[in-house]
Amino acid sequence: METKQAITAGIKSGLRKGWDGFVWMMKIIVPVSLLTSLLAWSGWLAEIDFIVRPLMNAVSLPATAALPLVIGMFAGIYGAIAAMAVLPMSQTEMTLAAIFTLMAHNLIQEGIIQAKSGIHPLKATVFRLIPACLTVMVVAALMGYSPAAGGAVPAGPIPVRGPLGQALGDWLAATAQVAGIVFVVIMALLSALEIMKNLDWIHPIVRACRPVLRFMGLEERVGILWMTAIIFGLAYGGAVIVEEAKQGHLTREDLESLHLSIGMNHSMVEDPSYFIALGLNPFWLYIPRLVAAVLTVRPIRLWYRFTGRAAGPS
């Protein structure tokens, strides 16, 4: 396929997939954001503040972040974004919630996918939740944030107990802004990824990432699988890993180390871009997660070698 044809085909395929993905995401974002706004307007969230505040404060998060985090853990990252967009959270609080959500979202579905491709789902989930909590606590300390002190200026509209019409108007404005951001990001990203696939750029990129793999504590033989998950997420990455694991070329150590790493760092192109478009600093969305993955994977690989678990195919 010629370059021009590859680019044209990639754009067409990306736009088609982008539109399908946008419609699917709106089916999540619109109802979740509406329900969140109504709960905030009703005062119900304030009523349960005394319950969730100690739990959130234990991991250096405000009580307001409880709903987006729960939604993210069970419904996925798009629902968490929808909830965050209509709640009174400062940029710092949104950053901390975003870090947790990026590391520990859609735990049930993605845990099942990981279980089918090389790691026990409970282990996969635990090694996402614990590092997520610890990473948020460290980042909060580095940013000088304390839940007791609160944030600065709220990032979104503040749902107050006023007229319902006003609350719905605020919700509509915030949701329209998020929808616009999602539309632009997903169309651009999927078009770019389809072009890269048509031009066969993925393999050269993996070869260029060999130093990164070594830094992450991963073997070069898992490079394609790691790159697949990094770019396309766990759903696509899991399917590829399943097929590769069937060939018996990877050890149990390879697979588990890979899964622990990509559990905290997958879909690194698409997912953070939504938060970046909301004004959050990219540094905090990428670097803490990468460091957490390294500090998790490297000691575990040393433990595998110490106990002799590295030998043998998966």
Average pLDDT over residues 200-209: 78
* Residue 302 belongs to some domain of the structure: yes
Spatial separation of the C-alpha atoms in residues 96 and 65, rounded to whole Å: 9
Q: Which of 186-195, 219-228, 288-297 has the highest mean pLDDT?
A: 288-297
* Residue 314 belongs to some domain of the structure: no
Q: Which of 2-6, 149-153, 257-261 has the highest mean pLDDT?
A: 257-261
* Residue 8 belongs to some domain of the structure: yes
| Alpha-carbon dihedral 223, 226, 231, 234, rounded to 10 degrees | 150
Over residues 111-151, the pLDDT tens digits come to 887 887 778 889 989 999 999 999 999 999 999 998 765 54
Give the pLDDT score at 304. 80
Burial class of residue 246 (count of CB atoms within 10 Å of its CB; 0-12, 13-18, 19+): exposed
- Structurally, the chain folds into a number of domains equal to 1
Spatial separation of the C-alpha atoms in residues 227 and 262, rounded to whole Å: 9
Q: Percentage of the chain surpassing pLDDT 90?
A: 20
Q: Which domain holds residue 282?
A: 3-307
| Helix extents (H) in the chain | 3-42, 44-47, 49-58, 66-75, 77-85, 91-103, 107-116, 121-142, 164-198, 202-208, 210-216, 223-232, 234-246, 252-264, 270-277, 282-307
Give the pLDDT score at 156. 46
Q: What is the DSSP string of 130-195?
A: HHHHHHHHHHHHHTT--TTT--SSBSS----SS-HHHHHHHHHHHHHHHHHHHHHHHHHHHHHHHH
Give the pLDDT score at 98. 95
Placement of tokens 């997939």 in the chain: 17
* Residue 254 belongs to some domain of the structure: yes
Reply yes or no on whether the pLDDT at 159 is more than 60: no
* Residue 284 belongs to some domain of the structure: yes
* Residue 312 belongs to some domain of the structure: no
Spatial separation of the C-alpha atoms in residues 23 and 58, rounded to whole Å: 37
Over residues 185-200, the pLDDT tens digits come to 778 877 887 888 788 8
* Residue 313 belongs to some domain of the structure: no
Over residues 61-112, the pLDDT tens digits come to 888 888 888 888 887 788 888 888 888 889 999 999 999 999 999 888 788 8
* Residue 158 belongs to some domain of the structure: yes
Q: Which of 133-137, 153-157, 302-306 has the highest mean pLDDT?
A: 133-137
